[in-house]
Amino acid sequence: MKKVTPKTDRFTWDADSVVWDKTPEPAPGSQFAGSECSFRVAVAGATGAVGREILKTLAERNFPISEVAALASGRSAGSQVSFGDDRVLTVKNLDKFDFTGWDLALFSPGAAVSAIHAPRAGAAGCVVIDNTSQFRMDPEVPLVVPEVNPQAIAQFTRRNIIANPNCSTIQMVVALKPLHDKFRIKRVVVATYQSVSGAGKEGMDELLANTKVHYVHDKNPPQVFQKDIAFNVIPQIDVFMEDGATKEEWKMVVETQKILDPGIAVIATCVRVPVFIGHAEAVHVEFERPVSVGEARAALRHAPGVIVYDQREDGGYITPAECQGEDAVYVSRIRRDATVPHGLAFWCVSDNLRKGAALNAVQIAEYLVAHDMLRKKTEKAA
Ligand SMILES: NC(=O)c1ccc[n+]([C@@H]2O[C@H](COP(=O)([O-])OP(=O)(O)OC[C@H]3O[C@@H](n4cnc5c(N)ncnc54)[C@H](OP(=O)(O)O)[C@@H]3O)[C@@H](O)[C@H]2O)c1
């Protein structure tokens, strides 16, 4: 089987083999080189799966920071987390943290905690980018994927809060956006294959523990997931709604409509799979206009944040294991869906902790800086 190493190999495009190249992105963080402004940034949920990835992403992309605070619950106050290769931060208690004078806060402490502390930070003049589900459907809070609806960011001033969408929604709308612009989407049917890191560090621990006990013919009663996640798949993510859908499935519907177009009909089946990092989705799309496979590839080829890798041969597609630590949304297995008038099916994969959470949040922060929307600080980056 061919080994895929997306970060280092540039793909070559030829119309028959349908392997796409993209113009190389600028070096990470290069847009801030020489920047005179730097900002006081707090990360709430800094000890969690998303919070650690946020700290890593801020450092990797050289976000202009004069001071950084790592915040979590009182349980982990005083512990340490890494910031970049050579800095260690001592975790502070979010409950006691005063956001006055802080420019930006990236939140991922869970919805109930964000509900209390994000408005408190916003009221203190600190702009919050929140990864939880708490504010996503609030009409006064923009829900943003920078490749899709960056224009919505400007609405943050009403509450000083910007919401990051659900991880499975983000990767899907990044792939749908260029197709919707050209061919107008009517309906989306999506089945997800979501990794355990979507349930945080405890979800990852449970997969590891339950996998180990299988080998000694034992069982761990499930705690994070509803059934044993080892060597299994579970068709439930989040709680059940009245209509029989789960809340994760509902989120994919309403968030796609808020971000991309309220006129698009969406039905989702969200499934947890025993993979540590990386969500996959089988997406079936019905368009208003005729669309050929070649036209769809051409639209996706130039779309920001998308890499098409679609070789139509053994292993000629991207899997979750190959997208870990990567920024892109990978699209493979593009083919016609002949069961509807203008139909297309594809496979889409992305790192849920990165583009599905941390990277998307940091890209929003970069947009705020690039458009001079954060209060300027005179200090140079630390
Ligand atoms: N994982 C993903 O792929 C993903 C993607 C998009 C959005 N999200 C959302 O992001 C949030 C966090 O997810 P995660 O995967 O990072 O979870 P996680 O690994 O369980 O981390 C949770 C974080 O929240 C902190 N926290 C918990 N209770 C707190 C409290 N009372 N006060 C202050 N901090 C508290 C924890 O600190 P302690 O260590 O002190 O407990 C930890 O830092 C969730 O709302 C999730 O839905 C996750």
Quote the pLDDT of residue 31: 56
Q: Which CATH superfamily is domain 34-164+358-370 in?
A: NAD(P)-binding Rossmann-like Domain (3.40.50.720)
Cα-to-centroid distance, 45 and ligand 1 (Å): 5
The answer to whether 296 and 175 have CB atoms below 8 angstroms apart is: no
Does 18 score more than 60 pLDDT?
Answer: no
Q: What are phi and psi of 323, to 5 degrees?
A: -100, 0
pLDDT band at 32 (very low <50, low <70, confident <90, very high): low
Ligand 1 atom 37: the closest Cα is on which residue?
72
Quote the pLDDT of residue 217: 78
What is the mean pLDDT of the segment spanning 294-307?
96
What is the mean pLDDT of the segment spanning 29-34?
52
The predicted-structure confidence for 72-93, as pLDDT tens digits, reads as follows: 999 999 999 999 999 999 999 9
Q: Which of 197-206, 211-220, 237-246, 340-349 has the lowest mean pLDDT?
A: 211-220
Cβ of 198 below 6 Å from ligand 1: yes
Tokens of 360: 């998307």
Sequence-distant (6+) residues with CB within 8 A of 3 are: none
Quote the pLDDT of residue 287: 98
Residue positions annotated with a catalytic role: 167, 279
Percentage of residues of the chain with pLDDT beyond 70: 88
Q: Where in the chain is the domain with CATH 3.30.360.10?
A: 168-195+233-351
Q: Which atom of ligand 1 is nearest to the CA of 195?
A: 3
Residue 67 burial (10 A CB sphere; 0-12, 13-18, 19+):
middle
Q: What are phi and psi of 277, to 5 degrees?
A: -135, 140
Cα separation of 132 and 146, whole Å? Answer: 17
Cα separation of 65 and 48, whole Å? Answer: 21
CATH architecture, range 168-195+233-351: 2-Layer Sandwich (3.30)
Quote the pLDDT of residue 24: 37
Of 361 and 216, the one with more pLDDT: 361
Ligand 1 atom 12: the closest Cα is on which residue?
108
The answer to whether 176 and 255 have CB atoms below 8 angstroms apart is: no
Residue 326 burial (10 A CB sphere; 0-12, 13-18, 19+):
buried
The predicted-structure confidence for 98-125, as pLDDT tens digits, reads as follows: 999 999 999 999 999 999 999 999 999 9
Cβ of 64 below 6 Å from ligand 1: no
Cβ of 190 below 6 Å from ligand 1: no
The answer to whether 196 and 207 have CB atoms below 8 angstroms apart is: yes
Does 376 score more than 90 pLDDT?
Answer: no
Alpha helices, DSSP H, located in the chain: 49-60, 111-123, 167-183, 200-215, 247-259, 293-301, 320-323, 359-370
Could you tell which of 131, 201, 251 is best to mutate to test the pocket of ligand 1, judged by most ligand atoms within 8 Å of the CB?
Answer: 131
Tokens of 252: 């994919």
- Give the closest residue to 47 by CA, choosing from 103, 109, 104: 109
Does 380 score more than 90 pLDDT?
Answer: no
Cβ of 113 below 6 Å from ligand 1: yes
Q: Which residue, chain included where needed, has tokens 């349930």?
A: 199
pLDDT band at 215 (very low <50, low <70, confident <90, very high): confident
pLDDT band at 16 (very low <50, low <70, confident <90, very high): very low
- Kindly give the pairing relationship between strand 343-350 and strand 279-287: antiparallel
What is the mean pLDDT of the segment spanning 189-213?
97
Q: Which of 11-25, 69-83, 167-181, 221-235 has the lowest mean pLDDT?
A: 11-25
Averaged pLDDT score across all residues of the chain: 90
Sequence-distant (6+) residues with CB within 8 A of 80 are: 88, 89, 90, 91
pLDDT band at 63 (very low <50, low <70, confident <90, very high): very high
Q: Where in the chain is the domain with CATH 3.40.50.720?
A: 34-164+358-370
Ligand 1 atom 26: the closest Cα is on which residue?
109
Distance in Å from the first CA to the final CA of the chain = 46
Residue 295 burial (10 A CB sphere; 0-12, 13-18, 19+):
middle
Quote the pLDDT of residue 122: 97
Cβ of 305 below 6 Å from ligand 1: no
Q: 3-state DSSP call for residue 190? A: strand
Cα separation of 51 and 188, whole Å? Answer: 31
Q: Which of 1-10, 53-62, 140-149 has the lowest mean pLDDT?
A: 1-10
Cβ of 171 below 6 Å from ligand 1: no
The answer to whether the pTM exceeds 0.95 is no
The predicted-structure confidence for 273-291, as pLDDT tens digits, reads as follows: 999 999 999 999 999 999 9
Tokens of 216: 């000694």
